[in-house]
Chain A
Amino acid sequence: MARKILFITTDQQRYDTLGCNGGTLASTPVVDQLARTGVRFERAHPQSVVCMPSRSTMLTGQYPSTHGVWMNGVPLPVAAPSVASVLNQVGYRTALIGKAHFQPFLDPFLRFEENAMSQGSASPLLGLYRGFEHMESAAHGPVGPFHYSRWLLENHPEVIGGFYSVLNSSFDVNSEGDGDTGAPQVHVNPVPKELYHTDWVADRTISWLNTLGNDEDWFCWMSFPDPHHPWDPPQSEVGRINWKDVPLPNGYIESQSQREAILDDKPRHWRAWYDGTLISNYEAPSSWVPATLTADQVREVNARNAVECELIDEAIGRVITSLIEKGCYDDVDVIFTTDHGELQGDFGLLFKGPYHVDGLMRLPLIWRPAPSAGIRPSTVTKPVGLLDLAPTFCQIAGVSPQSWMEGKALPISDEDATNRDFSCVLTEWDSELFGVNVHLRTIMADQWVCTTYQPGTSHDGSEGELYDIVQDPLQHHNRWGDPSLTSIRDGLVDRIWESLPRHPGKRRILQAPV
């Protein structure tokens, strides 16, 4: 018998939303306990800051430029490599419960397997889907081709109307909000807590785990859709945190003139989006102008987000309790992370896009190895990436990492990280939407975060960003043009191009907005 793996992901959760990472707004005792007894990573970065490419990286262990999901809306081929397949082939029972998003959601044709599957049972039509023998899907609301949506429709149709409409009638990300402050995507949702998708994901996970014997090995990806917007947690829970008491986040710059000066110091698409003159990607409401964001709206968004983080933490607690009661928890490795972050008020911005700063790139990552593995608790400060997850799962299962994986099994300490050359982590961005294209490549190494831009709609290829995250943790001062740092900057850019895989060839077509 090998170690079992509970892989927990959330969607769009910032590093600083967890107590163990210094967060003070949400109470997250369950994940904090995982951190105390496991390995806590202080510099885990995604290889893309949007869902589909990042999730494809988790599954394949590859960079977006290798797996080919270069932006949201580009499907990951069903035949793409999958760590779940590797584990399934060596006898692991496999399940994915919650948000998958390897294929586009906006699929009225129901032509993608992932979506078509939701119309039937939880057993994939062809036996396995990307190596998963069991799949139950959910996303951010009650609408769409997901098992959760179907379950609500069949069992609790009366609550469907209470959720926020993520998209408006133009299929655009909705900019409306009906909270106290009018913040976009904030909504009062009367849905009972036990019918909300966070509890549903945990319930379905417990249900599947209870079908397994303790002598079976398993890999279960439990994937919560929250705290990604909309921020519409059950109304009964909203009172946990009064938004009026919420302090403004460190990254929010209250002075408009100071905020705009900082934005002006970055490549021009930052300020253009803030002013509402450039929409480069689908992930934020196109009709919403960030410059209109108020301090109170930031408070309210952060309060709602924190409530969603608390609900996730409690749901994880229920799953862990069920494993303890089942008598197998000591043989389970628990890994907690997310696909990317959320700006959440930083620089006066919300949501996500081609902005490679900590709000989007610095992720929570906790690995509580099975106690039977004898790995001591530690904190890893060296940079790691989500592409290191797949080889980690292989290592836990006693399988050699596959040749197509581009990461390395996660280190268990800084010493281990140093010995195995965890010295940098890379993030890519490519988007081409309605004639606007943006291309970024970023490296985080030592105390530097360095982004180089390729030619696009707003950039001629000479632009970049360079931040000293020790001296300037909020990334306010772009030192790309600082003559004293030219050699450091150029060295980092060289490292980017030396490190990233090159895959010339035809780019896969964009098949939906998301």
Chain B
Amino acid sequence: MNVKKNLALSDTGFVFNPSTGDSYSVNPIGLEILRMLKDKTSEAEIKKYLLLNYQVDSETIEKDYYDFVKGLEQHKLTENNA
């Protein structure tokens, strides 16, 4: 799964999709994940990073990461979903 190349991310967590004109706000962790996804960081590496840097168990990460990515897909912020 890749996020759209032209997705604009700002330090405030403001996300702009130039293809549709839609904008969103994500929290700091969401922003970190989006940046990693834009940098083509693998899913396993992102989950490992979250596990190391936040007080959270792997089961919660699995669930929350899945929800987050599904949200991105629903809002058409991803490409090449295969």
Whether chain B is bound by chain A comes out as: no
